[in-house]
Structure 1
Amino acid sequence: MNTTSTHFRLSHKIKDEAFKITQSSYCNLYLTISPRSIRIAVVNTDRNKFVVLEDYELLSVFTPQQIAEQLQLITAENPLLQEQGWNAIRVSYSNQHFTLIPETLYDPTHKTDYLRLHSDLNMQENLVFSYRHNNLEAVNIFAIDMILQQTVDNIFPERPVQLVHLTSALIQSVLHQAGRKNERCLYAYVQRNYVTMLVVSQSGLEFCNIFHYLSPEDFIYFVVFVMQEQKLNPETETITVWGDITHDSSLFNILQKYIRQVRFGRKPADVAYSYKFDDLFEYRYFELYSLHFCE
C-alpha cells in the first residue's frame, strides 16, 4: 500500500488538440526537476513545435527523497510519463553541484575529482555525470541525487535518457539566441530561492553560476555582485531575465531600483509553439524550452 502523501498541484496544463500519445515515436519528451517544481513538455519533431506543457508545483517538499516520491505519484497518473515510445527523452536537474572546465583539460576518469573542488559531494547519495558543450569546447560536470536518478531510470526502463544540468540547458539556449553579439550581455534565470547568472560575449560564455537567496535583498546582492565582478555598469547595462518572476513582484521591483535597464526575455526562437502557448508569459518556462537545444 502506498502511504506517500500528495504534495503537488498541477498549476498549468497546455495540450494542442492535434497531439495524441500515439504520436510519441516522432515526439521528444522534456522533463525538468527542481526543488520547487516538476515540469513536462512535448515537442513534435516533424513539425518542430511544442505541443504539450505541464507544470507541477511541489508543496512542502524539502528533500530529494520527497521530490522522488512526488515524481512517482505524478507518474502514476500521467500518461506522458508512462509512455515508453518517445523519439528522445531529456531530463534536466536543478542544483548547485556543477562546474565547467575546458574540454582540453577534461579526463572522464577524474570527473568526480573536478567536481569535488567546487561542491560538497556525498558519494553515498550523489551520482556524477557530464555534458559536452561542443560550441564552447567545454564540459559541464554535475551531480544528481541518486534517489532521483534511480526514480527516472525506473520511469523509463525501455528508453535511454539524456541527462543535463539546468545550467547546460540555459547555456545552450542563450548562446543559440544571442549568436555572436559584439557587446557583453547579462542574463538571469530566476527560480524560487535560486538565481542563475550568465554573462555572454562575442567570444562565448564568460560566466555562469547559481546563487541561493532567501530575500529580495539577497537576490539583488548577488546580481549586483556579479555585475561588479564582471565590470558591468548597472547604470548602462541591460539585464535580461526569465523564469518565475513577474512585473509586480518584489524581485522585479528591486531589480529596477538598482539596475536601470531590466527586460524580460522571450521564448527561444527556431522552434514553433502551439497557439495554446500564446497565453503564457514569454519569459516563463525558458528552462523547459531550452532542453530543445541540448543535442
Structure 2
Amino acid sequence: MPASVSSASSASAATSGALLRLRDETFDPGNLGAYNLYLLASPTRLQLAAVDVERHKFVLLEEYPLAAGGLDALAAQHDCLGQRGWNAVRLAVTGRGFTLLPAPLFRPGDEEAALRLHHAPSPTETVRHTTHPGLELVNVFAADARQADWLTATHGASGRLLHHTSALLAGLVHQRGAAAPRRLYLNPGPQELTLVVLGQHLEYCNVFSCTTAEDVVYYTILVMQELHLDPDQDEVTVWGELMPDSAIFSLLRTYVRNVRFGPRPGNVQYSYRLNDVFEYRYFDLFSLHFC
C-alpha cells in the first residue's frame, strides 16, 4: 500500500497520477547537476529518489504507475525525469532474470552464456552485468531493452543500469558492518520476494515469484531450513512493501519468532518530507546511493 502523500504535494500528485510524490522545498529542478537520480523499475511501477550530493541528503521520493508507454511515456510527462544534466543516474530493474558469479570466474562477453543457465532472455531483453568489489561478485542480469535504451539515450555516460539485488546487497553490506551476525533478510516487492542470507560472506540471494502471504512464508521457511537457520532463534529482518498489520507480516510472525522491520540506510540524511513513509520501505531504492 502506498504511503500517504503530504498535503503540500497532494494536488500535484493527483494531477500527475503519482502514487507518492514527496519533495523537499530545497530541491531545485533548475540545478540537476547538484543531485544524483536513483530509479527502481518493476513491470508496473517506477520509484525514484534524488539525493543532494553535497549534503548527502535525500530530497525527493516519488512513485508512479508504468502504463503501456512505459518509462519513455512517463519521462515525457515528468518535469525532470527525462531531463539531462544530473550528476549521476542509476536505474535498477527488478525480476528473476539474474545470476551472481565469483568475480575471478567472470569474463566480459560471457554474460548471455552465464545467464542462460538460469534464465532465457526474451527478444525484448538485453543482458548486462555489474560488479560488487566488496563481495568479489559479478551480477549478470536481464533488463528491458527499451528501458536500457532510454537510459543511454537520455542520460548517456552519467547513467548506470543495475539489477535491484545489487542495490539491496550494497545497502546490506553498508548497513551491517564487519562484525554483524549471520542473518536472513527479506525484501518483498510487487509479486516478488527477494531473500538474502549474509554472514561473513554472501551465502544466498534469490528472487521468488510470490502472490500470497503463504508464498512468502513458504519460501522464507524453505531457505531457513536449507541454510540451517532456526525460526525460533535466528532473527529475520524485513524491508519492502509490507504494512505492520499486513497478512504477510502477521503470518511470518506465526512461524518465525524474531521478525523485525529494518531501518533506512545510514550515513545519509533524509528530508523531513520523507517522514510520511515507513522507514523500512524503499530500502533498495535508497541503497542505490552505495552502488
Structure 1 length-normalised TM:
0.90
RMSD, aligned CA: 1.5
SS in structure 1 of the partner of residue 121 of structure 2? coil
One-letter identity of the residue aligned with 1:198: V
One-letter identity of the residue aligned with 1:289: F
In structure 2, the residue matched to 1:134 is 133
In structure 2, the residue matched to 1:277 is 274
The yes-or-no answer on 1:215 pairing with 2:212 is yes
State the distance in 2 between where 1:81 and 1:278 align.
23
The yes-or-no answer on 1:244 pairing with 2:241 is yes
Residue 180 of structure 1 contacts residue 204 of structure 1 at CA under 8 Å; is this kept in 2? no
Distance 1:293 1:182, change over 3 A: closer
Pairing partner for 1:28 from 23, 26, 36? 36
State the distance in 1 between where 2:248 and 2:131 align.
33
Residue 199 of structure 1 contacts residue 208 of structure 1 at CA under 8 Å; is this kept in 2? yes
* Cα deviation, residue 23, structure 1: 2.2
In structure 2, the residue matched to 1:5 is none
Residue 84 of structure 1 contacts residue 159 of structure 1 at CA under 8 Å; is this kept in 2? no
Pairing partner for 1:225 from 205, 222, 227? 222
Residues 178-217 of structure 1: pairs in structure 2 closer than 5 A = 178-201=176-199, 203-217=200-214
* Cα deviation, residue 22, structure 1: 2.0
In structure 2, the residue matched to 1:172 is 170
* Cα deviation, residue 212, structure 1: 0.5
The yes-or-no answer on 1:118 pairing with 2:121 is no
Q: Deviations over 1:167-217 (max 9, x none)?
A: 00000000110112352111011112211000111x221110000012211
Pairing partner for 1:14 from 17, 22, 42? 22
* Cα deviation, residue 159, structure 1: 4.7
The yes-or-no answer on 1:43 pairing with 2:40 is no
SS in structure 2 of the partner of residue 109 of structure 1? coil
- Which stretch of the first structure deviates more once superposed, 173-182 or 263-272? 173-182
One-letter identity of the residue aligned with 1:95: G
One-letter identity of the residue aligned with 1:277: L
Pairing partner for 1:53 from 61, 77, 83? 61
Q: Number of aligned pairs?
A: 276
* Cα deviation, residue 157, structure 1: 4.9
* Cα deviation, residue 9, structure 1: 3.5
One-letter identity of the residue aligned with 1:9: G
SS in structure 2 of the partner of residue 21 of structure 1? coil
State the distance in 1 between where 2:130 and 2:157 align.
19
* Cα deviation, residue 95, structure 1: 0.7
* Cα deviation, residue 148, structure 1: 2.5
State the distance in 2 between where 1:191 and 1:197 align.
11
* Cα deviation, residue 14, structure 1: 0.8
The yes-or-no answer on 1:267 pairing with 2:264 is yes
